[in-house]
Amino acid sequence: MGQPLAGKRIGLVAGWASRRNGGVFEAMVGQAALIRDLGGEPSIFAARDEHSDADRARFGEAQVFYADPVGPAALAYAPALSDAMAMAKLDCLHLHGIWQGSSLVAAQWARANERRYVISPHGMLDPWITGRSRTRKALFRWTVERANWRSARIFHALTRDEENDIRRWIPEAQVSVVPNPAPATCKSRTSLPPPHAIYLGRIHEKKNVDGLLDAWNLLAERGELAADARLTIAGWGEPDAIDRLERRFASGVPQADFVGPVHGEAKTSLLRDARTLVLPSFSEGLPMAILEAWAAGTPTIQSEGCHLPEGMDAGAAIASSTEPDSIASALRQVLSLDERGWLAMSRAAQGLAAGAFGRETIASRWAKVYSGLMDDQAHG
């Protein structure tokens, strides 16, 4: 792979750098490892939250700086990060996510150092997201994000759909499209697993877990679930969202479980034992759960909001809408596959994880983005 970023100090800044930030956190963990593979020295900057200390080790040998937030918790504004970023003497800065206090911290760094940086919105300019809390976002855009976006040299889009979203808001933006890398692939699957479906991710309205549960109930009501069929919901979220989901399970969801958050070996086992991972989201950036499933050789069911048509094109995924009937149809299809058909999908999934979304492929593209930004800065 080489080390084109040898000796370069690259800062990754976000509202939170823990499981509280869901898929953005997983993307940052992967980005820090990728920077190290390229010879760079990643440093992480984020507001402190209840999971910060427990999740710090996920960044390995990278320097991690947490600062206490001030103001509303959802803004994750930690002004003390400005001093930490100044002391780090960064060669390059990469902001993960927008609509939070980290946007202000990044813009302040740019002004103080007369440098520009990379912004990864992580799907936060998707119409489903921007259509929520319109008044708050309009105010935040005029008071914070305008300066943040002007300070960016490059906007990073995870998909072509996200590139279009960025250009709707910032027509003049220079956009580089680079997907998240998939984890390393597991050993190839050799047999058909039991008819177990899983959901893995944040418990949030945009993920449409209710739609998935409605679909599962439809299959049960129609007598279309095998005796050993199982749906497992694994994830985390705000207390209100978890309480609502637990109440729904308490009222009865047949052949299904909510197991809370899973990490490490528990997550790997869940993925490896599943027939399919289902993600019927209304809105995503580029969902890490799908890349993790493909790396494990687990085919997926996914909505258009996941922005990964490559899965259907390669035969690694089945498309569904966000409606329960459509999700139920996709579940019926994948749970009824014979071993030959399912193993073909499993091989296609791992082919994507090792190929188009493989670590070396994505690393080489990021090396060009970071090197190009630093070259531009060196030449004024």
The distance in angstroms from the start CA to the end CA of the chain is 29
Answer whether residue 380 shows pLDDT above 60.
no
Eight-class DSSP state of 77: B
Model confidence band, residue 23 (pLDDT cutoffs 50, 70, 90): confident
Using 50, 70 and 90 to split pLDDT, how confident is the model at 1?
low
Query: What stretches of the chain show up as alpha helix (H) in DSSP?
Result: 22-37, 52-55, 81-88, 101-113, 127-130, 134-140, 146-151, 160-169, 209-221, 239-250, 264-272, 288-295, 309-314, 324-335, 339-354, 359-378
Query: Tokens representing 243?
Result: 């309480």
Centroid of chain to Cα 344: 26
95's enclosing H/E stretch is strand 92-96
Joined together, the tokens standing for residue 122 give 């992580």
Residues paired with 155 in a beta bridge = 119, 175
Segment 3-17, tens digit of pLDDT: 999 999 999 999 999
Span 289-303, average pLDDT: 97
Over residues 25-53, the mean pLDDT reads: 95
| CB-based contact 105:85 (threshold 8 Å) | yes
Counting residues of the chain whose pLDDT is more than 90, the rounded percentage is: 89
Say how far residue 294 (Cα) sits from the centre of its chain. 14
Check residue 378 and give its pLDDT: 65
11: phi then psi, degrees, rounded to nearest 5: -95, 135
**Across 340-361, average pLDDT:** 96
Q: At what angle do helices 209-221 and 239-250 cross, to 10 degrees?
A: 10
pLDDT digits (tens, 9 = 90+) for 313-349: 999 999 999 999 999 999 999 999 999 999 999 999 9
For residues 152-173, average pLDDT:
95
Alpha-carbon distance of 242 to 246, in angstroms, equals 6
pLDDT digits (tens, 9 = 90+) for 238-270: 899 999 999 999 998 999 999 999 988 999 999
**Side chain identity, residue 243:** D
- Domains, the chain, with CATH or none: 9-181+358-378 (3.40.50.2000), 196-354 (3.40.50.2000)
Confidence at residue 264, expressed as pLDDT on a 0 to 100 scale = 86
Q: Which two tokens stand for residue 363?
A: 């690393």
